[in-house]
Structure 1
Amino acid sequence: MARVPYLLLIEDDEAVRTGLELALGRQGHRVVTAATGELGLERWREQRPDLIVLDVMLPGIDGFEVCRRIRRTDSLPIILLTARNDDIDVVVGLESGADDYVVKPVQPRVLDARIRAVLRRGEREVSDASVFGDLVVDRNAMIVTKGGEELSLTPTELRLLVELSRRPGQALSRQQLLRLVWEHDYLGDSRLVDACVQRLRAKVELVPSAPTLIRTVRGVGYRLDPP
């Protein structure tokens, strides 16, 4: 029997929180909720959920700070809920370590699809390993090591690196990566890709500001180059 995903929903609006809890439960998820950032952090430490759905505008500690604190020690997936498709909210959220975002008012089916997509990113697959200097991407075990040490990557960072490693030296557009990694079939938000690449470079590059592995292809996207 497939394992039921365990979600933590951090949302201060009681009507939204209750509605999403019921809707996600009907979609087959187990859901625990919190109404504040402080309580959300407590529930995260106690419950160890598979994924967090996190509202940006929270009383006290806001969603950005909650995301930053979690990211210091945990790579579990985080999906942000934003009140509007605001550039600043989206960029700050992604830079804080979020994997994806959904704009309110939230359609439960859309949120469920995003949740299932991000959870699939960490699933194992049958394949082999690719070596890029001291960086090894093992697609069978879904493990990445650098200098023999396993890297702590979020499922989204891992899937992005896996997809780039399948095609070394080949430029992939941002839209291709959105389809392959985020499973966004529409003309999606390329900021998801750029923010994830930035975080990934900080973990795999010797000098993240002067990358030698994950290269930017101007006007196209990114490619993974052997050293």
Structure 2
Amino acid sequence: MSRILIVDDDRALCSLLAEYLQREGFVVDVAHDSETALAQLQNQTTRPDLLILDVMMPGRDGLDTLRELRLQYRLPVIMLSARGEAVDRVIGLELGADDYLAKPCLPRELLARVRAQLRRNAPIAAGTLQVGSLRLEPGERRAYAEERELSLTGAEFLLLLALAQRAGELVDKAVLTRIALGRELERFDRSVDVHVSRLRHKLMEASAQSPRIESVRGAGYVLLVAAA
């Protein structure tokens, strides 16, 4: 059974969501502050498979917590916050969140997002994929540019893999949303755009010879190999 950690200072909401997810077959732990959550991530025995993280918490908030945990951990993170404005979603995604839901949300919708994130983190068939100076090892969920390993979240890796498998071809934004986030593209949804922006930065930071990701306005993205 997959283990989920809910981090939120709203104890009533934690109890509600924990009970709902437990009925759906998950092992659920709760934490009401970032220090407790980060300590649990260090525990090999109780380390979660997925984190549901509230933005607004006393002391260190969810965004600071996310920034710190991304230095070490790649597990999927769903941000959950009453601050549902577009700019807040973008900030959360830029810091490494895999998905973002605004409060109040239906437990059933959260469950769908949880299942989607866990599905896309399931094992991938092994085999090396080489695109120019970029090498992907899907079985290990690792990517290298000029043999320098890229530090990618789960969503970023799946986006890069989808683009690399179709290198030189336009990949529709709706297709990338289904592959990387495990859900359908929503109106005014910029999640994939933010993930792509982070990918571009990481590729260029690793090597000037990395393949580049070009956008096709209103359509999607294409991965282009740098000229020799």
Classify the TM-score, shorter chain: 0.7 to 0.9
TM-score for both structures, normalised by structure 1: 0.88
Is there any run of 5+ residues in structure 2 with no aligned partner, and where?
none
CA offsets, 1:126-172, max 9 Å, x none? 47533122211233554322333443322111111111122111122
Partner of 1:225: 224
Contact 2:177 2:192 in 1 (8 A): yes
Partner of 1:166: 165
Partner of 2:63: 64
Rounded Cα–Cα distance in structure 1 between residues aligned with 2:145 and 2:208: 18
Partner of 2:189: 190
Q: 2:42 is aligned with what amino acid?
A: R
TM-score for both structures, normalised by structure 2: 0.87
Rounded Cα–Cα distance in structure 2 between residues aligned with 1:196 and 1:154: 9
CA offsets, 1:153-194, max 9 Å, x none? 221111111111221111223222112322322535532101
Partner of 1:152: 151
CA offsets, 1:12-63, max 9 Å, x none? 1111010011111111111111111222222222332211100111111111
Partner of 2:48: 49
Rounded Cα–Cα distance in structure 1 between residues aligned with 2:184 and 2:71: 31
Q: 2:153 is aligned with what amino acid?
A: T
Residue 69 of structure 1: how far off its partner (Å): 0.5
Say whether 1:76 aligns with 2:61: no
Alignment of 1:5-154 (within 5 A): 5-46=2-43, 47-126=46-125, 128-154=127-153
Which secondary structure does the structure 1 equivalent of 2:129 belong to?
strand
Rounded Cα–Cα distance in structure 2 between residues aligned with 1:192 and 1:13: 26
Q: 1:12 is aligned with what amino acid?
A: D
Which secondary structure does the structure 1 equivalent of 2:117 belong to?
helix
Q: 2:129 is aligned with what amino acid?
A: S
Rounded Cα–Cα distance in structure 2 between residues aligned with 1:17 and 1:30: 13
Tell me how large the CA RMSD over aligned residues is: 2.4
Partner of 1:216: 215
Q: 2:136 is aligned with what amino acid?
A: V
Question: For the structure 1 residues 224 and 85, does the alpha-carbon distance in structure 2 shift closer, same or farther, using more than 3 Å as the test?
Answer: same
Which secondary structure does the structure 2 equivalent of 1:58 belong to?
coil
Question: For the structure 1 residues 141 and 37, does the alpha-carbon distance in structure 2 shift closer, same or farther, using more than 3 Å as the test?
Answer: closer
Task: List structure 1 segments (4+ residues) > 6 angstroms apart after TM superposition.
Answer: 207-211
Greater shift in the superposed pair: 173-182 or 47-56: 173-182
Rounded Cα–Cα distance in structure 1 between residues aligned with 2:75 and 2:34: 17
Report how many residues are paired: 224
CA offsets, 1:169-223, max 9 Å, x none? 1122322211232232253553210111122223223479998521222332211
Which secondary structure does the structure 2 equivalent of 1:205 belong to?
helix
Q: 2:3 is aligned with what amino acid?
A: Y
